[in-house]
Amino acid sequence: MSAEATMKNLGIELPNPPTPLGSYVGAVQTGNLVYISGQGPRRPDGTSITGKVGTGGMSIADAQAAARLVGLNALATLRAEIGDLDRVKRVVKVLGMVNAAPDFNEHPKVINGYSDLMFEVFGEAGRHARSAVGMGSLPFQIPVEVEMIVEVD
């Protein structure tokens, strides 16, 4: 089943692609690769989820939900760049950054919120190489930022 049909069957609706908050663009295509800039958990109303994971204010489940929202924003940005998510051949690489307390060590669990969405939408083509790392802070105190490289036809 195509990615667009899969999203429709799962009831996944993409938001409008977020507007970059700096001097950059949301995506760049070169050849058959599309680089998606770091995305945050911005809600459709323009507000963002904030918090630091592992400090008591943001649970792993909350951070996973934020990572899923980041994934929806990344897919919206990707669709705006390439026109149709059915053009995706493979999600190649994901870099997930978690705004975490110094002693937090469950970064991969948090980024699974993003990775699981890519698998839901693209099936095996959504499985990717990945890094999940902790950061002392992220812009605007968001809990998760993720960038992605995708191969298209």
Which structural domains are found in the chain, ordered by start? 3-152 (3.30.1330.40)
Q: Which two tokens stand for residue 124?
A: 């095996």
What pLDDT does 29 receive?
98
pTM of the model: 0.96
Are the C-beta atoms of residues 96 and 130 closer than 8 Å to each other? yes
Tell me the CB-side half-sphere exposure of residue 105, using CA atoms within 13 A: 1
Q: Running DSSP on this structure, what letter comes out for residue 51?
A: -
Pairwise CA distance, residues 76 & 2, whole Å: 16
What pLDDT does 34 receive?
98
Among 16, 20, 10, smallest CA distance to 147 is for: 20
- Three-state secondary-structure class, residue 77: helix
Q: What is the pLDDT along the chain (153 residues), one digit of tens a residue?
A: 799 999 999 999 999 999 998 999 999 999 999 999 999 999 999 999 999 999 878 999 999 999 999 999 999 999 999 999 999 999 999 999 999 999 999 999 999 999 999 999 999 999 999 999 999 999 999 999 999 999 999
What pLDDT does 104 receive?
96
What pLDDT does 55 receive?
86
* DSSP run (H or E) holding 107: helix 107-122
